[in-house]
Amino acid sequence: MRKINKILIANRGEIALRIMRSAKEMGIRTVAIYSEADRNALHVRYADEAVCVGGPKSNESYLRGDVIIDVCKRLQVDAIHPGYGFLSENASFARKVQEAGLIFIGPTPEAIELMGSKLAAKAAVARYNIPMVPGTEEAITDVEEAKQIASQVGFPILIKASAGGGGKGMRVVEDVESFEDQMKLAVSEATSAFGDGSVFIEKYIGSPRHIEIQVLGDTHGHIVHLFERECSIQRRHQKVIEEAPSAVLTPELRDEMGRCAVNVAKACDYVGAGTVEFLVDENLNFYFLEMNTRLQVEHPVTEQITGLDLVKEQIRIAEGNPLSFQQEDLAIYGHALELRVYAEDPANNFLPDIGRLETYIRPQGLGVRVDDGFEQGMDIPIYYDPMIAKLVTFGKDRKEAIDKMLRAIDEYKITGIETTLPFGKFVLQHEAFVSGNFDTKFIERYFLPSLLEEQATDESEEIVATLAALLLTNHSPKATAGTATGNNQNASSWRKNRLK
Ligand code: MV4
């Protein structure tokens, strides 16, 4: 047991603020680091102390592990929270933090390293009877042998880089004729991208769902799971909408996947918050893919349905406290959705659109949570991730969470930059999403930029209709005491009449 009194957050933006808020509630002092591009950022203002660690580029600032550790020593920091991205899954940084006598709020360097290698991870979990996609258990080197295995598994197959993850270094191979070329390309890509050319083969699951399970492990060997997050709505391996619980899991399947996730965590003596990623096929077979050894962007949906603060749990675990609950104490309450709001133009191939937030008004009200790191008037820097906010809604069931999200999107006012808010609205109104019948191919299957134009036309027609109705009622002698509600009723009946 070692009490943490001061935490340095080795991150920026919404996640830095998110972590500091929990620390503050626990009476823990906070230290922000920032780059020259982030001098006026909210995370810098929110922290008790803030230190500039270098230039705007990540490798000049947020990735400078040694500088960050020096700041900790100078300011008598007890622990480092890495957030997500940057140094969060860097085993050698976690090791240096430990060696400096500091607490790394996260798993051990050994667990990070093990799960960083997809092949080592598969080997480690194999003795726990975890379902895995058919394929090779070891790196393939011999082309002829690999071809034979691929033919046994059956085409199409997928060649994956062991050091990859999150979709990096993957290649679909349709037939045995193109296998050799594809394998050579995969090896050379993996070598240049990761410095490790190890690749392996898996059967290609054509239209899977991506469902992941949140786990928590303490330093006393207790591990629990906090149910699933459905993350199938993604574009180019960038998640767009996440939800909890998943619309397709039965209680039995949830238990089974939960038990598997706990076993994956056991296989690497996992400590802290982690996520076990599964593919689920159309017959609801599930397969272990990889484990993410960090707090994830989409953790808020799990917080909303469990009532737990995952950052507080991470900090308590890092202090050496045993978990204060058991699996049986946990239950799912209601339904939560998260929409990632990116500074990208969905009508223009999701081109990043940086600039000044001329207007920035957040939605509010029951069941609406906005995790962001900006205020009106601020510039979005070009150097980092284009995600500007996470819009989270929580309701008694899936329908209420969707209705709240649509309402919140309409309330969200952002001008000065294009955002993915209209795109979120498109997805949430789509029949496939509403029915729950979708997979990771949702966007390529259903989305066209022109669909956003139709949506915008519908909206402006509605505005014209409302204004026209307002004018009409105000000129009518009966409408002298017209309340807002009265006008709205008139507007909608006007619209109904017009549509007849
Ligand atoms: C797969 C797959 C199909 N079959 N593995 C992409 C992210 C990485 N974690 C693993 N990924 C995939 N692995 C087999 N054997 C399809 C994907 C995949 C995917 C997975 C989750 C969410 C979105 C995805 C988009 C494309 C491909």
Q: How high is the mean pLDDT of the chain?
A: 92
* Most ligand 1 atoms within 8 A of CB, residue of 210, 276, 442 to mutate: 210
Query: Cα 482–487–491 angle (5° rounding)?
Result: 155
Q: Is the pLDDT of residue 413 over 80?
A: yes
Q: Which residue in the block uniquely carries the two structure tokens 């039995």?
A: 252
Q: Which of 171, 229, 235, 294 is catalytic?
A: 294
Ligand 1 center to residue 91 CA distance, Å?
A: 24
Residues 312-333 have pLDDT tens digits of 999 999 999 999 999 999 999 9
Least confident window among 60-69, 189-198, 248-257, 376-385 = 189-198
Calpha distance 282→103 (Å, rounded): 43
Ligand 1 center to residue 167 CA distance, Å?
A: 6
Looking at ligand 1, which residue's alpha carbon is closest to its atom 22? Answer: 210
The yes-or-no answer on residue 362 being catalytic is no
Examine residue 352 and say whether the peptide bond preceding it is cis (omega within 30 degrees of 0). no
Parallel/antiparallel/unpaired status of strands 238-244 and 223-235:
antiparallel
C-beta 238 within 6 A of ligand 1: no
pLDDT at position 434 = 98
Q: Which residue in the block uniquely carries the two structure tokens 């990540």?
A: 58
Backbone angles phi, psi at 283, to 5 degrees: -95, 15
C-beta 307 within 6 A of ligand 1: no
CB proximity list for 122: less than 8 A, separation 6 or greater: 132, 137, 288
Q: Is the pLDDT of residue 472 over 80?
A: no
- Mean pLDDT of the region 68-94: 98
Looking at ligand 1, which residue's alpha carbon is closest to its atom 21? Answer: 210
- Mean pLDDT of the region 473-489: 41
- Structure-block tokens of residue 430: 């789509």
Q: How far is CA 157 from the centre of its chain?
A: 27
Calpha distance 282→288 (Å, rounded): 16
pLDDT at position 493 = 34
Share of the chain above pLDDT 70, in %: 92
Q: Is the pLDDT of residue 468 over 50?
A: yes
Residues 145-156 have pLDDT tens digits of 999 999 999 999
Ligand 1 center to residue 41 CA distance, Å?
A: 35
* Most ligand 1 atoms within 8 A of CB, residue of 170, 232, 236 to mutate: 170
Calpha distance 110→89 (Å, rounded): 11
C-beta 210 within 6 A of ligand 1: yes
C-beta 158 within 6 A of ligand 1: yes
Calpha distance 492→95 (Å, rounded): 63
C-beta 204 within 6 A of ligand 1: yes
pLDDT band at 464 (very low <50, low <70, confident <90, very high): low
Exposure class string for 240-263: b at 16+ Cβ within 10 A, else e: bbbbbbbebbeeebbeebbebbbb
Q: Is the pLDDT of residue 431 over 60?
A: yes
Least confident window among 63-72, 91-100, 156-165, 449-458 = 449-458
C-beta 140 within 6 A of ligand 1: no
Number of CB atoms found within 10 A of residue 106's CB: 29
Q: Is the pLDDT of residue 454 over 60?
A: yes
Residues 33-42 have pLDDT tens digits of 999 999 999 9
Radius of gyration over every alpha carbon of the chain, rounded to an integer in angstroms? 25
* Whole-Å CA distances, 255 to 213, 250, 252, 302, 328: 11, 9, 5, 16, 11
Q: Is the pLDDT of residue 8 over 70?
A: yes
* Most ligand 1 atoms within 8 A of CB, residue of 89, 237, 241, 298 to mutate: 237
Residues 291-303 have pLDDT tens digits of 999 999 999 999 9
CB proximity list for 209: less than 8 A, separation 6 or greater: 230, 232, 246, 248, 279, 280, 281, 438, 439, 440
- Structure-block tokens of residue 344: 């990208």
Ligand 1 center to residue 278 CA distance, Å?
A: 9
Q: Is the pLDDT of residue 109 over 90?
A: yes
C-beta 202 within 6 A of ligand 1: yes
Calpha distance 134→5 (Å, rounded): 48
Q: Which residue in the block uniquely carries the two structure tokens 């397969």?
A: 287
Q: What's the start-to-end Cα distance of the chain, in Å?
A: 71
Please, what is the angle between helix 310-318 and helix 13-25, to 10°? 70
Ligand 1 center to residue 165 CA distance, Å?
A: 9
Share of the chain above pLDDT 90, in %: 85
